[in-house]
């Protein structure tokens, strides 16, 4: 058989294809799972060297510490003021203040509660014929009132109680107090009423009882401002050792510490 014949009768063999080898591709990006959120190895190393605290974290830590220190310092002062105030109410101690009914500069009879009118009150004892001390102290009182009003609103009621009821009539009181501050309430009364309220506030009272018309006499009295809370309890006595601004700051602090209701006029 010829060669040509054999090629025509032979079956076709299938083509054999070699399998394609598996080729793994790698990303050229510098980011990898090993470094987590860091974009580069250099960034990770820089973070590692800086440690767990950053400038922002340090600043926050300092500010938090300062805030806590300020808060606990304030609370310590407030608790000390409350302790002093409560000590004034102690059993066996002479109480300062108390109930009374007197006549105001408009001729109306009012009680101590009505005079306070739901506010803190600042009580001063004096007399209109006082040549120097009372005018100076009332000028000081006017500054104190305005400073407290700036910080705490009209939450303080200033009260002037005369130690000279014979000469300080409601009309005289009204004309006198108008020269100092419009918020002042002036109180007068009979000899026995004034003597009684002076005793309750532990104020020295030297006015003679039986006075003839035109008789000249001296009046001596204590020089203190008595701060009372809205319930009529004694809080603190402010003397000549306090400037008007110092006294106003003390009063404002006590008002701020007060946890009960307090009236504030518009």
Residue 187 in contact with residue 162, Cβ under 8 Å?
yes
Binding residues for Cu cation: 130, 134, 221
The dihedral through the CA atoms of 14, 16, 22, 25 has a sign that is negative
DSSP single-letter state for residue 165: T
Give the rounded distance of the alpha carbon of 148 from its chain centre.
Answer: 11
Q: Which residue, among 146, 101, 105, has the nearest Cα to 122 in the 3D structure?
A: 146
Binding residues: 130, 134, 221
* DSSP string across 41-90: HHHHHHHHHH-S--HHHHHHHHHHHHHHHHHHHHHHHHHHHHHHHHHTT-
Q: Can you tell me the distance from the alpha carbon of 237 to that of 224, in angstroms, rounded to the nearest whole number? A: 6
Residue 96 in contact with residue 232, Cβ under 8 Å?
no
Residue with tokens 């009272």: 205
Residue 166 in contact with residue 191, Cβ under 8 Å?
yes
Q: Which residue, among 175, 185, 180, 201, has the nearest Cα to 244 in the 3D structure?
A: 180
Give me 216's structure tokens: 């000249």
């Amino acid at each position: 058989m010829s060669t040509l014949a054999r090629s025509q009768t032979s079956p076709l063999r299938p083509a054999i294809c070699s399998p394609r080898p598996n080729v793994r591709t790698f990303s050229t990006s510098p980011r990898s799972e090993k470094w987590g959120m860091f974009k580069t190895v250099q960034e990770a190393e820089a973070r590692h060297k800086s440690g767990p605290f950053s400038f922002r974290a340090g600043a926050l830590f300092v500010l938090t510490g300062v805030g806590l220190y300020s808060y606990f310092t304030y609370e310590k002062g407030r608790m000390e003021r409350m302790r002093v105030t409560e000590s004034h109410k102690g059993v066996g101690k002479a109480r300062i203040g108390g109930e009374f009914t007197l006549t105001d500069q408009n001729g109306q009879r009012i009680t101590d509660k009505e005079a306070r009118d739901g506010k803190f009150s600042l009580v001063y004892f004096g007399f209109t014929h006082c040549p120097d001390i009372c005018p100076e102290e009332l000028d000081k009182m006017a500054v104190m009132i305005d400073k407290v009003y700036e910080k705490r609103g009209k939450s303080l009621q200033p009260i002037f109680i005369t130690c000279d009821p014979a000469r300080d009539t409601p009309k005289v009181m009204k004309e006198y107090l108008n020269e100092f501050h419009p918020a002042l309430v002036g109180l007068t009364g009979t000899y026995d009423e004034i003597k009684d309220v002076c005793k309750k506030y532990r104020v020295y009272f030297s006015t003679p009882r039986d006075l003839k018309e035109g008789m000249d006499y001296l009046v001596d009295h204590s020089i203190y401002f008595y701060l009372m809370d809205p319930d009529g309890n004694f809080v603190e006595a402010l003397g000549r050792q306090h400037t008007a601004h110092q006294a106003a700051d003390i009063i404002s602090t006590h008002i701020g510490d007060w946890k009960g209701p307090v009236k504030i006029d518009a």
